[in-house]
Amino acid sequence: MNIHNASWVRQDIIAASPRPAAQGGVAEWARKNLFNGWLSTLLTVASVTIVVWMAMALAPWLSNSIWRANSLAECRQILDGASGACWGVIRDRWPQLLFGFYPPHLYWRPVLTFALLIAALAPILFRAIPQRALWFSAVYPGFAYWLIWGGSLWFPVAVYCGVVVAAGLLYLTARVSRGLAVASATVGAALWWTYAVQLVSALADDVLPIALTPVASREIGGFLLSIIIGVTGIALSLPLGILLALGRRSSLPLIHLLSVTFIEFIRGVPLITLLFTASLLLNYFLPPGTNFDLILRVVIMVTLFASAYMAEVIRGGLAALPRGQYEAAEALGLDYWKAQRLVILPQALKISIPGIVNSFIGLFKDTTLVMFIGLLDPIALAAAIRANTDWQGIYWELFIFIGAVFFVFCFGMSRYSIHLERRLKTDHR
């Protein structure tokens, strides 16, 4: 085709004309998205009806909210027959829902612990915080334990000294052989924790007593308990899960077999069974009078449970990596741990982020199961509050409040995972 053979060719550009009035604007958007065909129209009308109906049903209940009442009977008296939410129960009992039976004059301790938790998490979660702040994150667990349970400061310090002992042994024996170094460090730390901790903390106490009023585990409840179990479980299950996932893919038969057995056993058993084991069965087998803290037992069980799931999530990420990555890492001359740390895990973990956060959220919500073994988590406290004659008969208000608090935490985790995914997105730009 030769353009010169054409009888007429336009040489200038037509000026843009405004689009027809019927196309564009709200009306066009609604037609395209809401009333596009009879099915779409039907669904739109149905859902709008449901939303309006729910709003109509809830609006009077919410707009008649009563905050200033000290019992359900008082609420009903104020409402005088109208339907309305009685939030007075939250005003009356929110310290209990947050802290359980923690002594009120010591509330500052869990509050400070929570504030410091945010400070300790910041350098791990966000890049903008200088990485030097990580030393605080490392010290935080011991400090948090001391703040919440009280007692002597030297006990957590002595426990931390075990890590120093292990590091020292590792450094001293590293030249002889790597296996020996790891073994001696492990044995040294274990010996320190079993025999020296009590002695050292008692000695330090004599020299310089620094102690807070001790608070017993049974006084800890409410969201404080949920957060203690949830955060500890989350923080411990990720590293354990990574080790288990690597163990399951290991070529050493013993490690492989142990990992598979552990993961499959824990995944095959409901969490509630493990919790009952922690609270009931251990009681039979431990010598009478053993003071093995119930919260500690529960944290251990929840961590084991979550780490088995975590291992499978991370194994999914490992399996998704192309074989070439493993071969490339080997071709670079990296040993196993360096290859995992520098090449494999950064990619595998990135792929697994949605699954990992999913497990975290599930774990945090599962903490409410501890009510079945007699620990006073928010749900159990709601039952206890309803048993008080002042608030007997109240129902939705407590559960809405508890649900809202859980939503804030879980939604926060979910948003952070999206942020992390975006930050780490390096492919397909």
Partner 1 sequence: MKLTIALAAVAAATLTSGIATAGTMADIQARGKLNCGVTGGQAGFSAPDASGVWHGMDVDYCRAIAAAVLKDPNAVNFIPTTGQTRFTALASGEIDILSRTTTWTFSRDVDLKFTFAGVNYYDGQAFMVPKSLGIKSAKDLDGATVCIQTGTTTELNLAEYFRKNNMKYEPVPVENNADVQQKYLAGGCDVYTSDGSDLASTRSSFKNPEHHIILPEVISKEPLGPLVRQGDDQWADVARWTLNALISAEELGITAENVEKLSAGSDNPDVNRLLGKEDKLGEMLGLDAEWAKRAIAAEGNYGEIFARNLGDKTPIALPRGLNAVWTDGGLMYGLPLR
When asked if residue 253 is in the footprint of partner 1 (CB under 8 A), the reply is: no
Q: How near is the Cβ of 383 to partner 1 at its closest, in Å?
A: 5
Do residues 416 and 125 touch, judged by C-beta distance below 8 A?
yes
**Window 57 to 76, contacts with partner 1 (CB under 8 A):** 72-73, 76
Choices 47-55, 89-97, 142-150, 235-243 (CB under 8 A): range interacting with partner 1: 89-97
When asked if residue 388 is in the footprint of partner 1 (CB under 8 A), the reply is: yes
Tokens 């919410």 belong to residue: 62
Do residues 197 and 162 touch, judged by C-beta distance below 8 A?
yes
When asked if residue 279 is in the footprint of partner 1 (CB under 8 A), the reply is: yes
When asked if residue 386 is in the footprint of partner 1 (CB under 8 A), the reply is: yes
When asked if residue 109 is in the footprint of partner 1 (CB under 8 A), the reply is: no
Q: Where are the alpha helices (DSSP H) in 64-133?
A: 72-79, 88-99, 108-125
Choices 88-96, 185-193, 206-214, 360-368 (CB under 8 A): range interacting with partner 1: 88-96
Choices 53-61, 99-107, 109-117, 228-236 (CB under 8 A): range interacting with partner 1: 99-107
Do residues 274 and 303 touch, judged by C-beta distance below 8 A?
no
Total residues interacting with partner 1, rule: CB under 8 A = 37
When asked if residue 380 is in the footprint of partner 1 (CB under 8 A), the reply is: yes
The 3-state DSSP class for residue 152 equals strand
Q: How near is the Cβ of 286 to partner 1 at its closest, in Å?
A: 8
When asked if residue 337 is in the footprint of partner 1 (CB under 8 A), the reply is: no
When asked if residue 284 is in the footprint of partner 1 (CB under 8 A), the reply is: yes
When asked if residue 201 is in the footprint of partner 1 (CB under 8 A), the reply is: no
Q: Other C-beta atoms within 10 Å of 132: how many? A: 8
How far apart are the C-alpha atoms of 404 and 97, rounded to whole Å?
13
- Whichever of 313 and 398 has its CB closer to partner 1, that residue is 398
DSSP code, position 129: S
- Whichever of 364 and 391 has its CB closer to partner 1, that residue is 391
Do residues 398 and 89 touch, judged by C-beta distance below 8 A?
yes
In DSSP notation, 187-217 reads HHHHHIIIIIHHHHHHHHHHHS--EE----G
- Using CA atoms, how far residue 261 sits from 66, 256, 268, 307, in Å, is 55, 9, 10, 13
The 3-state DSSP class for residue 66 equals strand
Do residues 367 and 376 touch, judged by C-beta distance below 8 A?
no
Choices 15-23, 36-44, 92-100, 136-144 (CB under 8 A): range interacting with partner 1: 92-100
The 3-state DSSP class for residue 270 equals coil
When asked if residue 385 is in the footprint of partner 1 (CB under 8 A), the reply is: yes
When asked if residue 18 is in the footprint of partner 1 (CB under 8 A), the reply is: no
User: How long, in residues, is the chain?
Assistant: 429
When asked if residue 387 is in the footprint of partner 1 (CB under 8 A), the reply is: yes
When asked if residue 376 is in the footprint of partner 1 (CB under 8 A), the reply is: yes
Q: Which residues make up the interface to partner 1 (CB under 8 A)? A: 72-73, 76, 92-93, 96, 100-101, 104, 216, 218, 276, 279-280, 283-285, 287-289, 371-374, 376, 380, 383-390, 392-393, 395
